[in-house]
Every structure is written in structure tokens, then in C-alpha cells.
A and B are shown apart, each in its own frame.
Chain A
């Protein structure tokens, strides 16, 4: 494992450099309306997708962490997820839903695959991270997700200024819901950082579950509401030159690899931090024990 990390780091650095070369290179066409500034899409959109994925993993880990307190709750959560998977897959092929999806430019098979992948990811999280490691994963993905969400909120206005003429569109549901999402996860991290209660992990997990409800609102807001923000680049009625899409997907892959490595480091850091806290607690317990033994003869003699 110790050798794997540097190897993966080098490969990711090469992939990121290649993705940057493609994003800025002349091989990809320049947008007819926006000019070269459209190339911000190669960092803005993959960062948003990566943040959503990390928040979803945080959601899965938090639900399973909350459910593991009781066997009945754990079984209920498992069957609810399976039911969501089955209903979601069948619903994608119901004629009326199929018609609706097609009108939004989405294929029913794509929706069914997405639902099944979400269910598979949920169970994979529980299988790979048993017990307290679910909580470690939750804090890891929330923190790295906030970093990627910050990039979305910074690159968005930088892109909006030359294209829309304004830095921010007040009241726009996509922009506002993304800011709310960022604020929810920042408050999640603040709660974890400053609360010393024994219930902190449970409270944070509950907050994460509610925070994750904002993710579909952010994603689907441009489908269902009139916004300043453009339509989605994949599905939802948006269209993109295949060469641009190719570069976008390579950039996303590079950012996913980078996010994986950052999460790996953050996960190890959290484990190390818990080890230090445990060692401190053991040391203070040993100190208190020694002090009580030392004071015992004195208390007897005073009597």
C-alpha cells in the first residue's frame, strides 16, 4: 500500500497534465459565442460532479452510521435502498415517465443505470468501511467535497463575469442552492471541529443526511426551473461538440483520480488523529490512576 500511493500520485499527475493540455490545447474547438473563456467548463463541471459524488458517498456513509446502532434499523435502511433501486429501475421504463425523460433529453436506460449504480455504491461503502470507519469516511468525503464545491463557487463567477456581464445572479436557484449546499457542509465540518459531545458523530451524520437532500435540488434545478445558468451538458436538453465532451470526460477522470488520492490522505490523517486522541486519553487515565493510588495512603492517614 505504501508503494501504491506514490505510483498512483505520479499517474494522476500525468493524467492531470494531459487533461490540462487538452483543455487549453488547440485540438479542442473554441466556442463560437464565448471564445476561449468557455474552457473554464473543463474545471468547473468536473469539480461540481466530483463534489456531488463525494457528498453522495458522505450521505451513504452517514445513513449506514446512523442505522448501525440497531439491527432492525440497519435492516430497514437496507430494504429501503433496495426498494428505491427496484422502483427507480422499473419507473424508468413506464411509458409516461419514459416520455417525460425523453423530453428532458435523457434516456430511460441511462436513468435506470444511474439508479442501480447509486444502490451499488451505497452497499459498496458499507462493505468496504465497516464500523467506525464509516464515520471516518463521512468526514473525509465531506471535507474534500467542500474543497471541490469551493472551486465550483469560485470558478462559476469568474466564468459568469465575461459571459453574463455579472459575477453572480441573485435569486438564481442553481447558484443559490449550490451556495446553500456549500454552507451546509461547512457547518457539518464546523460542528465536527468544535463540538466535544459524545453525540457529535451522530448529530453530524443526521446533518449530512439532510444536507445531501440539497444535491438533487442543485442538479435538477436547471431542468425544472428557469435559471440564468445554462442547461446541463449531458442530458437535460443540452448539447455539446463530441470533441469537447471527450476532453470534459478526461478532465473529470483526472479530477476523480486526484480526489481519490486526496481522500486517501485525509482518511489516513483522520485515523492518525483518532490514534493520537486515544493515546492522550490512555495517558490521562494512567495519570489519574497513579494520582489516586498516591493519594490513597494520605486519605487513610488523615482519618
Chain B
């Protein structure tokens, strides 16, 4: 049974999902920091 490809697929999928989620967190952080900076300038 060529099962090793399923094993690697599962491990890669796990880290791909985590990486995608971490990427969205980083993007949201930078967007909020930018908004805070703009609000600070407005004052």
C-alpha cells in the first residue's frame, strides 16, 4: 500500500492550515496598526 503519500499529505495539510491562519493574523495586525496610526495623525 502506497500509504506514505497520505501521511505526508496529512502533515502538509496541517501546517498549510496553520500557516494560512497565522498569515491572516499577521495581515489583520498590520491593518489595525495602520488604522491606529492614521487615527493618531488625525488628532
Binding site for B on A (CB under 8 A): 20, 34-37, 39-40, 43-44, 47, 147, 150-151, 154-155, 158-159, 161-162, 258, 262, 265-266, 269, 272-273, 275-276, 279-280, 283
| B interface residue count range (under 10 / 10 to 19 / 20 to 34 / 35 or more) | 20 to 34
Docked-complex contact A283 and B10, CB < 8 angstroms:
no
Give me 12 A-to-B residue pairs in the complex whose CB atoms sit less than 8 angstroms apart, sorted by A's number.
Answer: A35-B1, A36-B4, A39-B7, A43-B11, A151-B13, A151-B17, A154-B13, A155-B13, A262-B21, A265-B25, A276-B39, A280-B39
- Bound-state CA distance A37–B33 (Å) is 44
Report B-chain residues with C-beta under 8 Å of the C-beta of A266. Answer: 25
Binding site for A on B (CB under 8 A): 1, 3-4, 6-7, 9-11, 13-14, 17-18, 21-22, 25, 28-29, 32-33, 35-36, 39, 42
Report B-chain residues with C-beta under 8 Å of the C-beta of A272. Answer: 29, 32-33, 36
A-B pair count, CB < 8 Å, reads 75
Report A-chain residues with C-beta under 8 Å of the C-beta of B17. Answer: 147, 150-151, 154
Starting from the known contacts A36-B3, A40-B7, A262-B25, 4 additional A-B residue pairs (CB-CB under 8 Å) come to A43-B11, A155-B10, A159-B10, A269-B29
The answer to whether A155 and B28 touch (CB under 8 A), given A40-B7, A272-B36, A276-B35, is no
The answer to whether A35 and B3 touch (CB under 8 A), given A147-B18, A272-B29, is yes
Q: Which of A158, A162, A276 contacts B32 (CB 8 A)?
A: A276
Docked-complex contact B3 and A273, CB < 8 angstroms:
no
Docked-complex contact B3 and A158, CB < 8 angstroms:
no
Closest to B20 in A: A147
How far does the Cβ of B12 sit from chain A's closest Cβ, in whole Å?
10
